[in-house]
Structure formats: structure tokens, C-alpha cells
């Protein structure tokens, strides 16, 4: 690495100072033109019913109300479903969940709009219908948002029948609220010639453009969507920002005035979906060493009332069930249950965590059945580098398999074996407090599992003073995407990072973009920006070669200068000369991920460009009287290839670990069993982890090895994979609970492992010990 390199070095987030100073502009900070109106949504008061009427006169008579919109007022399509046309913007005939938007109030102020919308319980008349409120009930009824999916290899039934050992069980994991700091918001501003500018907090500007155009009956070129930054997304603003974008745009087009729709936290919880909760039923065969011989597993996801992104979420769950392990005979069945609740959607990991968590729970139970260290069982089942034990159930070869070496390094660095022995001694002498320890690995596939989405575009503009502006199709939600893309361009042109700036994502600059999701932001947009920068660099190299009297290959860019041998000039001087010679100083770049293919009907192919790996050791302390638990230490070793920005990557890993830990320990979603009302709809009732919940001893290291695949500067994605690291926390809690029971017990610990769930598991193992 040279002193002029701009990638592979830690750089501050491009908006870090703006974040802490309050200068960063989010959608709600945009200066409001005179005449701006505000929208609020009237929500269904019932989980399932037939909509009979809405008392519009009552709503229109409220102070400050200028208009009330219903489904009948939508000029185009009343649909905001990203894949299937089953998700209305405003309910028209059927009420599908408690909290579903039925009408929109447009008023002179946000407060007045919300006050009028709150009359929904009075204004909406309905006929109640039976509601299905949990995935198990929907599964028993055969009620799905799309047909079941099946992924199989070998002969699972025969492998189970002949296995020396067999284990069956059921388990469940709850969903998770994205809890982005900035809630859902859209600001629509009518433009001349029947056009619409939409400032939207969204991970998918192009999809918002298309859906708003469909709702208005416009062509796509009449709708412009901008997003400078989001205050967090985590998947919750991939598809589900659409409803709010459409309502704001419809109101603005009808009234020909700017309209802002900003949800408060309670309404955000009540309207939007979240991570899919999963129920599992499994039957597993194995031998006396813990080697898995066959498995048949049902995965039942709670999809809510509509399909949204549930199909690709389930597909990814099925493709990640294997996690890090070779499974010779499997039969996996995915059921996407339709319930009368919010439509669940993308969340960091996109089904991958729900799939991989199942095999980790199974392997832990296998180890306890056999009286073996769960780490040993995991290591025995890992994918290998040769033979048939490096092919996934869906047919992709596991290449660049570094996991065994990564685990061995983590075992040594974390002093796993010594701590395991010390914890056993501690637990024998401690009656109330119990410690637990667990090491879990991960293998996570990187790419959209819909092949055509793996593309990106970028624009790079070089100005005559030598400064550079970059625009790409990705969105910045705090993860540092703009910082990394700017580093890539600065590195390519040999400039200091301060010379390069990224502008707001804009559908009028980069068209037909994919969502910033699936951990592909840096991979796709970084490559596209690099492609654009290289085109400009080639033009400048040719000019420099003429000036220096050499070949273009001899021209070097670095430190803000361009040189060949002893001759050099500043980058700005060369740019000025290029301008004077009418050489194009801007370029577009494009990138498509190579080698992908996927048969969605049979779940076969190569859906992932490469795999990212990692492992974590978690140590916990459990109070057996209260059920409370605490992570006392976490050791993480994670694979990001050759990191583009180590500081940002470590921050992403730390954040993912704590977020995943929250999913598995404290973030419990509850609905009223009769009415279907979401009971955990605010910070007072839904508990995300705080800084105090972070491990006091938190050791995060990068497994610094270049990606074997030609990714952007041989780096690897870091958005979603590390969310699987805190599996170690859940299993460490289970380990602590097991120490309170008889030798060899296998506690049934549900997730999230709240204090109540831990107490329930403790009572069960103690009951076994007294029999």
C-alpha cells in the first residue's frame, strides 16, 4: 500500500461531522415552500373486515382539513406491492389488518391532520370477519400469500430412516422491528408540465418512481425521486416506503400544492411490517460423532396480509439453512403464511438469519444429545475444500472456503478452551448466577437472489478545477456507502479524498437502479463508479502521454499529480488542458455481477457471487432467579476481504452484532390474541438494545484476506453477514440455562430469550432434574 492509496484505509464517514452537529439534511429538514400541506392516515380499527363506508363529511368538517382521500380518489393503480399486486395503497373493500391505511387526511398542519385522522374509529364503518393472527394457525388452514417452496437434495427420508441417531423438535423465533431513527417520510412537490418531485426516505428510489407513476397514471419520466440520506433503513425502507410516497404524491397532484407525510413512531409500528418471524419443525438424523446425515425441515414464516418481499425472503432462508455446514440429504419446505397482521418485509439479512439460525439450534441439540462440545460438532460438519462436501443443497460450489482457518484463529485468540473449562468450574460452585459460552460461525451469500437486480450505474464529473462529483444509484442510510464510493473514485484518479464528493441519489441522474439492499451497495455501485472513473482516466492518460512524450501506460496518477518519469503536473492542470482540447471530462459507468444464474421454480443454480464468513464467541451471565442475562464478553473475527475502509467495516460489524443480539434477546413483538392490535408499538413497550447492553468487553477483528473473486478492490460485503454473529449470544444463554439442569439436558429456549423466556426454560430443566 502506497501513501497515496485511498482504499484499504480508515476514513471518517463523509457525513460524520454533519450528523453530530445537526447539519445533516434529512427529508424532514428540507425547507418547506409556502403552502405546504400535511397528510395523516386513518387506520383500520379491525384486523379483518369488510369496509362498508367512511363518514367523509365528519372528516372534512374538522379544523384545517382541505381534503380527504380514499381509494376512489387514486387516479391510477391502487397498489404498492413490490412483486405481486396484492397490497392496496388505501383499503378499498376489505380491511386486512388493524392499522391498515383506509383514508388520508390533508390539512394545513401536521397536528390538525393527525387529529382528524384519529377519528378513524368513528368514521370507518365495517363488518367484522374472522381473523387469523399467527403463522401456525394460517399454516394449519393452508392460508399462504404464495405457493409453498421446496428445496431438496438426496434422499432425506431414507437417510433419516437409517440414521443411528434421530432428533425431532419444533422451535420459533420472533420478528424484529427495524426501528430506524428517522421514521417513514415522503415530501411531494408538484412541478410544471404535470411532473412530480418526491423527496423520500427510501432504499429504492427507482421503485418509488415506478409505483408513484402507476398511482398517478403518469409515465416514469414525469416522476423524480431524490434521497440524500436516510436515518437508517435496515430493509424497512426498501418496499414499504412506497405507500407513503404514493399517498403524498396523489395528494400533491390533486391539490397542486406540496404535501408532506411523516409518520410518528406509533403509526409507523402499526402500519409497516418488519422481519418475518419463523416457526420450525425438524427431523434430523446423525451419527455418534455428530455428523448430520439427513434432515427434513418445515420453515413457516409469518408474512402478514400480503406478499410484499416474502417470496425472496423465504428463498434466501432456504438457501441459508445450511449456513456453514455440508448437509448430504435434506428436504426443506418453506411456507409463507398469510395472517391478518402488518405485511412483513425486508430486514437486514433478508431471511438468511432465520434460515441459518435453525441449523445452529439443531446442531446445539445434537451436541447435547451426544454429550459433546457444540463447537466440535460444528467443526465436524463444516464444508470442506474438496470432494462432494463443498456443494450447497441448491447446487452452488463453496469456493474460497476460509472458515476452518478463521474458526481456529478465533478459538486461539479468544482462549475458548480455557474459558470453557473455567466456566464449568464456576457453574459447579455458583447456585444463582450461571455462565454460558458459545462459538458460532457464519457463511453468507452475497448478491440479490433475483439475478437481474445485480446491476448498477454511476456518473463521474470532473470539473475544470480538478474537483470531482460522483452520483450513483445506491442510497446512503448511515452505512458509509458514499464514503466508500468516493474512496474508490479518489483512488482511481489518484486524488485525495477531499477532492471527491458524492451527491444525492436521484432518479433523473441514474435510471432503473436496484434497491440498496442484499449487502451489495459497495460491490455494485463501487464497481460502476470505478468503471466511470477509469474511462476519464484513460482519456487523461492519453493526453498526458502526448504532453510527456511517452505511452499512456507510463502515466501515473497519485497524490493529486500526474507523472511520467521525471515529468509531472497537477491533476487540475491536466484537467484544464483536457478541457481546452475539448476532451470529455465526465463519464457514465455500469456494472453487472458476472456468473449468476438461478432457477426460481426449482431453487437451483448459482445465486451468490461469493460468500462472506465470520465467527463469534459470546460469554454470558444469567441470573437464574430473575431470568435476566448479560453478555460479558464477545470476540468476533469477521471476513470482509480486503477492507475498503476498516473503520467503517468494524462499525458495521459492531452495529450488526448488537442489532442481532436485540432480535434474539429483548425485542419481543406481541399482538392482542383477540383483536390483532399490536401491543408493542412504541419504545415504552418494545425494547431495542441500548449502549448499556453492548458487551463491556467487545473485541472485533477483521480476517484480512483478499476476496478470491474480482469484487471491488477484492473487498467483501459487510452489511448483512455480521447480523448472524450474535447467534452465539442466544446459544451462550442456552448453555448457561443447561448448566442449571441435569447433565445432558437440552433446554427449550425460545427467541427472543427475554427474561420470561429464560425463566421458562430454567423451570423446564429444573423439572427434568427433579423427576
What is the mean pLDDT of the segment spanning 314-331?
A: 98
pLDDT digits (tens, 9 = 90+) for 722-732: 999 999 999 99
pLDDT digits (tens, 9 = 90+) for 632-663: 999 999 999 999 999 999 999 999 999 999 99
- Using pLDDT thresholds of 50, 70 and 90, give the confidence band for residue 476: very high
Q: How far is CA 265 from CA 45, 270, 513, 678, in A?
A: 18, 9, 29, 13
Sorted by sequence, the CB contacts under 8 Å of residue 274 that are 6+ apart come out as 175, 176, 177, 178, 236, 342, 344, 345, 347, 669
Q: Is the pLDDT of residue 187 over 90?
A: yes
Q: How far is CA 561 from CA 73, 531, 537, 542, 580, in A?
A: 59, 21, 12, 15, 19
What is the mean pLDDT of the segment spanning 480-495?
A: 98
Averaged pLDDT of the chain: 97
Q: Give the position of cell 422481519.
A: 275
What is the mean pLDDT of the segment spanning 379-397?
A: 94
Helix (H, G, I), strand (E, B) or coil at 272: coil
Please state the separation of Cα 327 from the chain's center in Å.
26
Span between the terminal Cα atoms of the chain, in Å: 65
Catalytic choice (177, 182, 238, 720): 720
Q: Is the pLDDT of residue 770 over 70?
A: no
Question: Can you point out the beta strands (E) in 661-731?
Answer: 697-702
> Rounded to whole angstroms, how far apart are CA atoms 138 and 337?
6
Q: Which of 574, 573, 518, 516 is nearest to 541 (CA)?
A: 574
Q: What is the pTM of this model?
A: 0.97
DSSP β-bridge partners for residue 168: 283
Q: Is the pLDDT of residue 1 over 90?
A: no
pLDDT digits (tens, 9 = 90+) for 707-716: 999 999 999 9
Q: Is the pLDDT of residue 143 over 70?
A: yes
Q: Give the position of cell 497537477.
A: 570
> Rounded to whole angstroms, how far apart are CA atoms 488 and 482?
10
Q: Is residue 97 a contact partner of residue 305, using CB atoms and an 8 Å limit? A: yes
Q: Which of 593, 606, 609, 584 is nearest to 708 (CA)?
A: 609
- Using pLDDT thresholds of 50, 70 and 90, give the confidence band for residue 771: very low
DSSP 8-state class, residue 503: P
Catalytic, 238? Answer: no
Q: How far is CA 206 from CA 107, 220, 671, 757, in A?
A: 28, 9, 34, 42
DSSP β-bridge partners for residue 557: 562
For 2-16, 474-488, 633-647, which range has the lowest pLDDT when averaged over its residues? 2-16
What is the mean pLDDT of the segment spanning 592-613?
A: 97
Helix (H), strand (E) at residue 745: none
Do strands 629-638 and 697-702 pair parallel, antiparallel, or not at all (unpaired)? parallel
Sorted by sequence, the CB contacts under 8 Å of residue 603 that are 6+ apart come out as 149, 150, 151, 315, 318, 319, 394
pLDDT digits (tens, 9 = 90+) for 410-451: 999 999 999 999 999 999 999 999 999 999 999 999 999 999
Complete DSSP assignment for 406-429: HHHHHHHHTTHHHHHHHHHHHHHH
Amino acid at each position: 500500500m502506497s501513501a497515496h492509496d485511498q482504499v484499504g484505509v480508515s476514513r471518517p464517514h463523509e457525513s460524520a461531522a454533519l450528523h453530530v452537529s445537526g447539519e445533516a439534511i434529512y427529508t424532514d429538514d428540507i425547507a418547506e415552500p409556502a403552502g405546504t400541506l400535511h397528510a395523516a392516515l386513518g387506520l383500520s380499527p379491525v384486523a379483518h373486515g369488510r369496509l362498508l363506508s367512511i363518514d367523509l363529511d365528519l372528516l372534512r368538517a374538522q379544523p384545517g382539513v382541505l381534503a380527504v382521500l380514499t381509494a376512489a380518489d387514486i387516479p391510477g393503480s391502487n397498489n404498492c406491492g413490490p412483486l405481486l399486486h396484492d397490497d392496496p395503497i388505501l383499503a378499498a373493500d376489505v380491511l386486512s389488518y388493524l392499522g391498515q391505511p383506509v383514508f388520508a387526511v390533508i390539512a394545513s398542519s401536521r397536528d390538525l391532520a393527525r387529529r382528524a385522522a384519529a377519528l378513524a374509529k368513528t368514521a370507518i364503518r365495517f363488518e367484522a370477519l374472522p381473523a387469523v393472527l399467527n403463522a401456525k394457525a394460517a399454516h394449519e388452514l393452508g392460508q399462504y400469500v404464495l405457493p409453498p417452496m421446496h428445496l431438496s437434495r438426496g434422499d432425506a427420508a431414507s437417510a433419516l430412516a437409517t440414521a443411528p441417531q434421530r432428533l425431532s423438535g419444533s422451535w420459533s423465533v420472533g420478528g424484529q422491528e427495524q426501528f430506524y431513527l428517522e421514521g417513514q417520510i415522503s415530501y411531494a412537490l408538484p412541478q410544471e408540465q404535470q411532473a412530480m418531485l418526491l423527496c423520500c426516505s427510501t432504499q429504492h428510489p427507482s421503485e418509488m418512481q415506478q409505483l408513484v407513476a402507476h398511482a398517478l397514471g403518469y409515465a416514469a419520466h414525469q416522476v423524480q425521486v431524490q434521497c440524500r440520506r436516510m436515518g437508517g433503513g435496515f430493509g424497512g425502507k426498501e418496499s414499504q416506503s412506497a405507500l407513503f410516497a404514493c399517498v403524498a404524491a396523489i395528494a400533491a397532484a390533486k391539490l397542486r400544492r406540496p404535501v408532506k407525510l411523516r409518520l410518528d413512531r406509533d403509526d409507523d409500528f402499526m402500519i409497516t411490517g418488519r422481519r418475518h418471524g419463523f416457526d420450525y419443525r425438524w427431523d434430523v438424523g446423525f451419527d455418534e460423532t455428530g455428523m448430520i446425515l439427513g434432515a427434513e425441515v418445515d420453515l413457516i414464516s409469518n408474512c402478514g396480509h400480503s406478499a410484499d418481499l416474502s417470496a425472496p425472503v423465504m428463498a434466501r432462508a432456504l438457501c441459508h439453512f445450511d449456513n456453514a455446514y455440508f448437509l448430504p440429504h435434506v428436504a426443506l419446505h418453506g411456507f409463507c403464511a398469510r395472517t391478518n397482521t402488518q405485511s412483513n418485509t425486508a430486514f437486514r439479512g433478508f431471511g438468511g438469519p432465520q434460515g441459518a439460525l435453525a441449523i445452529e439450534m439443531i446442531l446445539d441439540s445434537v451436541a447435547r444429545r451426544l454429550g459433546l462440545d457444540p463447537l466440535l460438532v460444528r467443526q465436524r460438519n463444516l464444508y470442506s475444500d474438496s470432494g462432494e462436501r463443498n456443494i450447497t443443497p441448491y447446487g452452488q460450489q463453496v469456493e474460497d472456503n476460509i472458515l476452518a482457518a478463521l474458526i481456529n484463529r478465533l478459538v486461539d485468540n479468544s482462549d475458548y478452551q480455557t474459558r470453557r473449562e473455567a466456566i464449568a468450574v464456576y457453574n459447579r460452585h455458583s447456585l444463582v448466577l450461571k455462565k454460558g459460552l458459545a462459538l458460532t460461525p457464519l457463511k453468507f451469500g452475497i448478491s440479490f437472489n433475483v439475478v437481474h437486480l445485480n446491476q448498477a450505474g454511476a456518473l463521474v464529473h470532473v470539473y475544470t478545477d480538478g474537483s470531482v462529483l460522483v452520483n450513483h444509484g445506491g442510497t446512503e442510510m448511515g452505512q458509509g456507502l458514499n464514503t466508500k464510493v468516493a474512496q474508490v473514485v479518489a483512488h482511481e484518479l489518484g486524488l485525495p479524498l477531499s477532492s471527491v464528493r458524492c451527491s444525492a441519489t436521484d432518479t433523473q441522474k441514474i435510471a432503473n437502479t436496484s434497491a440498496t439492499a442484499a449487502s451489495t451497495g459497495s460491490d455494485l455501485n463501487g464497481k460502476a463508479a470505478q468503471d466511470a472513473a477509469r474511462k476519464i482516466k484513460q482519456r487523461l492518460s492519453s493526453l498526458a502521454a502526448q504532453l510527456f512524450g511517452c505511452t499512456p501506460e507510463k502515466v501515473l496518477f497519485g497524490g493529486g499529480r500526474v507523472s511520467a518519469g521525471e515529468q509531472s503536473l497537477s491533476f487540475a492542470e491536466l484537467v484544464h488542458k483536457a478541457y481546452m482540447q475539448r476532451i470529455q471530462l465526465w463519464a457514465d459507468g455500469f456494472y453487472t455481477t458476472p456468473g449468476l444464474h438461478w432457477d426460481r421454480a426449482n431453487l437451483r443454480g448459482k445465486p451468490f457471487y461469493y460468500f462472506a464468513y465470520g465467527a463469534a464467541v459470546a460469554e454470558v451471565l444469567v441470573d437464574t432467579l430473575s431470568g435476566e442475562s448479560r453478555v460479558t464478553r464477545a470476540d468476533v473475527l469477521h471476513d470482509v476481504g480486503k477492507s475498503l475502509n476498516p473503520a467503517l467495516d468494524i462499525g458495521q460489524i459492531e452495529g450488526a452484532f448488537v442489532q442481532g443480539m436485540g432480535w434474539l434477546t429483548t425485542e419481543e413483538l406481541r399482538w392482542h390474541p383477540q383483536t390483532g392490535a399490536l401491543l408493542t408499538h412504541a419504545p415504552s413497550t418494545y425494547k431495542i438494545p441500548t449502549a448499556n447492553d453492548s458487551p463491556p468487553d467487545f473485541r472485533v477483528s477483521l480476517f484480512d484476506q483478499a476476496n478470491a473473486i474480482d469484487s471491488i478492490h477484492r473487498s467483501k460485503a459487510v452489511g448483512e453477514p455480521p447480523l448472524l454473529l450474535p447467534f452465539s449470544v442466544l446459544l451462550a444463554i442456552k448453555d448457561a440455562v443447561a448448566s442449571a439442569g441435569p447433565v445432558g439436558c437440552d433446554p427449550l429456549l425460545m427467541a427472543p430469550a427475554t427474561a420470561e423466556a429464560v425463566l421458562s426454560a430454567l423451570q423446564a430443566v429444573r423439572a427434568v432434574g427433579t423427576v
